[in-house]
Amino acid sequence: MNKPEAQPVHSLEPRYYTDPAIFKQEMSGLLTRTWQFAGHASELENPGDYFSYEIAGQNLFSIRTRNGDIKTYYNVCQHRAHELVSGSGNCGVIVCPYHAWTYELTGELRSGPNIKSVPGFDRAAIKLNEVSTENYCGFVFVNLDPNAEPMGEWFPNAKEELRAFVPQIDDLKPVDWVGVEEQCNWKVSIENYSECYHCSLNHPAFANGVVKPETYDIQPQGYCLRHTTECQNLDHMSYPIDPDSNEHASEYSSWFLWPAFSFQVYPGNVLNTYHWRPVSVDRVAVWRGWYTVGGVASEIVRQLAVQDRETTVEEDIRLVESVQRGLMSRGYRPGPLVLDPKNGVNSEHSVQTLQQWMREAVDTEAAPHS
Ligand code: FES
Ligand SMILES: [Fe+2]
């Protein structure tokens, strides 16, 4: 009997990228039960240091407690819902600006004007609503799912590998955040980041630069997409590298943590990051983070950030925004993904994996509510 002929796998239907109802569903579903980057722990150096931000449309703040933990709370008073903090700063206790209810850094209600006059008022029962938080090598991640599995379960081995590639990671501080807003659905940007089938045509600096494109590969590792490659001879790098300084000093590597964060390491153990914040169905904020030991200004890192913004980032914006316009076209039917059984740089395996996760997130979410 003849083997049935394999059928190509087709790209995701456009509605996943263009339908505001699906975006709403992701905001209330996927983005509330996955690990999202909040900020860097070095911004919370002392007890009482805090910063606020928005994840999945929810206003949150992270704060350093007196015993050194980092906790995250919904930024809302348990009295009549005023927001507790704005921006960033330091506080000894958390005082609500509306009626001065006061909370410990650990979330318990400590006092409030005249609350003792209320018969049956149970102060001990009132606590700020806490959000799961992990300090991942100095990077603070939060998950709005109270039963979230730890990041180690989601991204097996990633932390250990990252530590081996960036031995100085615990001493790093951010020196630059470069943000751009792309006029596309966040998943278009993520897919573009996660395949290099487009690289030789669109990123000349990539194709003729540090990495050996023919060795570039991207494979899932739990919910991490692991980018690996061999590098060219590093004699012509724009900055000096001592390849013998440690095991991975002459390598490039990257760990994309589903759904919206990536660690990248350039030769010389230079860490940089990407994180994405979905804004609306057709807009996403993309941030590039750059770090040095102690946050000391570095001409090398500054130049890398400028070069990156002017080449890769700029080149990718044009691609993803064109794709978003294309996804709105009545003339588009999702085409077959190029899945080379041998994997490699010209295969879209990683897109297939991402699109499974994307579909899973929306379709399984739809079921219980329909
Ligand atoms: S709303 Fe916060 S004290 Fe009243
Ligand atoms: Fe790209």
- pLDDT tens for each residue of 166-225: 999 999 999 999 999 999 999 999 999 999 999 989 998 776 777 888 888 999 999 999
Q: Which ligand number lies closest to the CA of residue 76?
A: 1
Confidence band of 366 (pLDDT split at 50, 70, 90)? low
Say if domain 36-143 classifies as CATH 2.102.10.10: yes
Compute the distance from residue 66 Cα to the ligand 1 centre, in Å: 24
Ligand 1 geometric centre to CA of 65 (Å): 22
Q: Report the 10 Å Cβ neighbour count for 369.
A: 8
Q: Measured in angstroms, how far is the CA atom of residue 202 from the centroid of ligand 2?
A: 7
| pLDDT score at 62 | 99
How many other C-beta atoms are found inside a 10 Å radius of the C-beta of residue 166?
Answer: 21
The residue whose C-alpha atom lies closest to atom 3 belonging to ligand 1 is: 99
| Predicted pLDDT at 2 | 62
Q: Where are the alpha helices (DSSP H) in the chain?
A: 15-18, 20-28, 151-154, 158-165, 186-193, 199-202, 204-207, 299-308, 314-327, 349-369
User: Residue 253 is encoded by which pair of tokens?
Assistant: 């590597």
- Predicted structure pTM score: 0.95
Q: Across-strand partners of 275?
A: 261, 287
Is 114's pLDDT higher than 50? yes
Dihedrals phi, psi of 234, to nearest 5 degrees: -90, 10
What's the pLDDT band for 232 if we cut at 50, 70, 90?
A: confident
- Percentage with pLDDT > 70 across the chain: 97
pLDDT for the residue 3? 66
Which residues have CB less than 5 Å away from ligand 2 (the ion)?
Answer: 316
For position 170, what pLDDT does the model report? 97
Tell which one of 80, 95, 115, 121 to mutate to probe ligand 1, the residue whose CB is within 8 A of the most ligand atoms: 80
Question: Dmax over Cα atoms in the chain, in whole Å?
Answer: 85
Q: Which residues pair with 70 in a beta bridge?
A: 64
145 closest CA partner among 34, 226, 241: 34
Ligand 1 in reach of 101 Cβ (< 6 A): yes
Using the CB atoms, write b or e for 225-243: b if 16+ within 10 Å.
bbbebebeebeebeeebee
Strand arrangement, sheet containing 58-64: 36-40, 139-143, 130-136, 70-74, 58-64, 49-55, 88-90
- Ligand 1 atom closest to 99 (CA): 3
Domain 151-369: homologous superfamily in CATH: Naphthalene 1,2-dioxygenase Alpha Subunit; Chain A, domain 1 (3.90.380.10)
Give, in order, the Cα–Cα distances in Å from 77 to each of 35, 49, 369: 24, 18, 29
On the question of pLDDT at 370 being above 60, the answer is no
Question: With 90 as the cut, is the pLDDT of residue 131 above it?
Answer: yes
Nearest CA among 10, 6, 7 for reference residue 337 = 10
The pLDDT mean for the chain works out to 94
Tens-digit pLDDT profile for residues 32-71: 999 999 999 999 999 999 999 999 999 999 999 999 999 9
* Mean pLDDT of the 123-142 span: 98
Residue 236 confidence (pLDDT): 74
| pLDDT band at residue 369 using 50, 70 and 90 as cut-offs | very low
Say if residue 367's pLDDT is above 60. Answer: no
What's the mean pLDDT in 340-368? 90
Atom of ligand 1 nearest to the CA of 101: 3
User: Is the CA virtual torsion 283, 17, 223, 70 positive or negative?
Assistant: positive
- CA atoms within 13 A of residue 130's CA, in its CB half-sphere: 17
Pocket probe for ligand 1: among 93, 98, 110, the residue whose CB has the most ligand atoms within 8 Å is 98
58-64 and 217-221: which strand pairing? unpaired
Q: Is 77 in the pocket of ligand 1 (CB under 6 A)?
A: yes
H-state helical runs in 20-66: 20-28
Decide: 363 and 25 in contact? Cβ < 8 Å: no
**Ligand 1 pocket mutation, candidates 79, 110, 121, criterion most atoms within 8 A of CB:** 79
Task: Choose between 6 and 130: higher pLDDT.
Answer: 130
**Distance from the CA of 81 to the center of ligand 2, in angstroms?**
43
Atom of ligand 1 nearest to the CA of 84: 2
The DSSP code sequence of 276-339 is: EEEEETTEEEEEEEEEEETT---HHHHHHHHHHIIIIIHHHHHHHHHHHHHHT-TT--PPBP--
Pocket test for ligand 1, best of 76, 82, 111 (most atoms within 8 A of CB): 82
Alpha-carbon gap, residue 35 to 295, rounded angstroms? 25
Q: Which ligand is nearest to the CA of 75?
A: 1
d(CA 308, CA 315) in angstroms, rounded, equals: 10
pLDDT tens-digit series, residues 71-104: 999 999 999 999 999 999 999 999 999 999 999 9
The predicted structure's pLDDT at residue 36: 98
Q: Is 76 in the pocket of ligand 1 (CB under 6 A)?
A: no
Are 308 and 316 within 8 A, CB to CB?
A: no
pLDDT band, residue 1 (cuts 50/70/90): low
Q: Are 300 and 197 in contact (CB under 8 A)?
A: no
Residue nearest to atom 1 of ligand 1 (CA): 80
Q: Where do you find CATH 2.102.10.10 in the chain?
A: 36-143
